[in-house]
Structure 1
Amino acid sequence: MFDVAAELRGGVKGPRHAWDFLRAFAAEWVGVPVAAGHGSPAEDLDAAEQELGFVLPSALREGFLLLGSRDDLTRNQDPLLQPTGLFVEDGVLVFRRENQDCAWWGISLDEVEQDDPPVVVQSPDGCIPFLDRMSTAWVELVLSETLFADAAPGRGLHDACELPSSSLPALEAAFTRVDVPDYPMWVGPDDSPVRWYAGPGCLLRRDGLEDLSWLYVRGCTDEATEGIRRTVPGRWERGS
């Protein structure tokens, strides 16, 4: 089974590595390979640049061209905007919004000329650093949106539990930390940092501090999800 932690050992090394990972993830983990027509139309991106008055960072544009029309990978929880929906707010080019419009993700206009610029997120404390490169933010976006997707029958339901500190050893013994940097959850410090774990066919995200955290999980099959529940003790929302 596809192992996200193994595939990302050493972190996201740049846009080319991100695109290779996302192609493999879509094919092997989601079961639907990236194909022609799965990206946003180039003319929509051209129109967005014309409307905005500047050229999009290459890592942002290339990601749209690769999978901007794959709603299953990009628009389940906190959706990627359509190219023609990109906008500027408070000096930030916004490309993704929280599902209830409580927050957004974007690129500072001061850094928009970089090929692979850092990403910021809106929070109650204002705009704060999110991830240091857009290519890494694409990987995070797809992992998060896949985690909360409504899977096809047999492809693994997502689940969640409030994670007691006593269950942390079981989590860390059974699953491997994914080499994505810690990053903040937009709602605030109590739900930060966000950390990813994985195993073959298993994807897990822990939000929050050691004594107060939530664990969100999904297996690529129903059996894999059930295996996570058995391995990590907790009050699971959908099972035990």
Structure 2
Amino acid sequence: MVGDFDAAEAMHDRISDRSEAWDFIRAFAAGWYSPLTDGDGVGQEELKQIEGRLGLSVPTALREAYLLFGQRPELFEHQDPMLPPSGLFVHEDLGGVLCFRSENQGCAFWGVRLCDLGEADPPVVVQSREGWRPFMDKVSLACVELVLSESLLSDGPLYNACELPAEVVSQIPQLFQRIPLPDYPMWTGDDESPVRWFSAPGLLLRQDGLAADSWLHVRGKTLAHLSAACVAVPGRWAQWQGTEPSTVDELPF
């Protein structure tokens, strides 16, 4: 619908540095929820106290993320939330990983290896079912993905998911615009990887995997946006939004 926020249009091209990442998150918050304000981040003193407890320094990019939106739970706290500063911890694997995000039942974690903490915007690893794997090459990009994923899965009535038949998988890039994030692994494993993002005005879409029966997750700004996506994509929707029922038994998580 004309005038509605479009994530792919807002990102323009691949994000090249953390400043562009924060600009996108500001634009997304304003377009999807409400603009970020000075009071939407955690305090510097809280971060210093956590660093003292852990005996390490939080990377600059992660610090900036907490300062920018660390008290806006709609942006990071739904399915696989960003941990509050008090919840940061070091996982013993890989020589130590500073974990800042957790799958909602503790089945997976996202973090920065201790050997990379000296970088301002270091790479992020994720604990998948196949073991620890590279996730994003920058914390700032991982934060963009976090905000998109948590917003996608944040509202039951405005969310839906579809198992894609083989013949439909290749149609998704023709129906929706690709959000220029790099491919990355889904923590559940290779069958649901790589993950790719798409958008349209008032719509967020995430495709988990490229094979038949991969999942397409959709969030609409309104029910009208969501219904339009469900009608456009032929498949077995978890909750039908069109004119004829065709549903799956359960969601993939």
TM range, smaller chain: over 0.9
Separation in 1, partners of 2:57, 2:170: 47
Aligned to 1:29: 32
| Residue identity opposite 2:25 in structure 1 | L
> 1:47 and 2:52 equivalent?
no
**Superposition pairs for residues 226-237 of structure 1, below 5 Å?**
226-237=227-238
Separation in 1, partners of 2:110, 2:221: 27
Aligned to 2:89: 87
Aligned to 1:76: 78
Separation in 2, partners of 1:55, 1:41: 15
Unaligned ranges ≥5, structure 1 = none
Alpha-carbon offset, residue 84 of structure 1 = 1.2
Alpha-carbon offset, residue 211 of structure 1 = 2.1
C-alpha contact 1:38 1:67 (8 A) present in aligned 2? yes
Aligned to 2:215: 214
Alpha-carbon offset, residue 210 of structure 1 = 2.4
C-alpha contact 2:169 2:212 (8 A) present in aligned 1? no
Aligned Cα root-mean-square deviation (Å): 1.3
**CA offsets, 1:40-75, max 9 Å, x none?**
122111111111112111100000000011111100
C-alpha contact 2:41 2:66 (8 A) present in aligned 1? yes
Moved over 6 A (4+): none
**Superposition pairs for residues 60-75 of structure 1, below 5 Å?**
60-75=62-77
> 1:115 and 2:116 equivalent?
no
Separation in 1, partners of 2:213, 2:43: 43
Alpha-carbon offset, residue 115 of structure 1 = 0.3
Identity %: 50
C-alpha contact 1:162 1:234 (8 A) present in aligned 2? yes
Aligned to 1:182: 183
TM-score by length of 2: 0.90
TM-score by length of 1: 0.94
C-alpha contact 1:5 1:177 (8 A) present in aligned 2? yes
C-alpha contact 1:171 1:231 (8 A) present in aligned 2? no
Q: For residue 28 of structure 2, give the secondary structure of its aligned residue in structure 1.
A: helix
Unaligned ranges ≥5, structure 2 = 243-253
Aligned length: 235
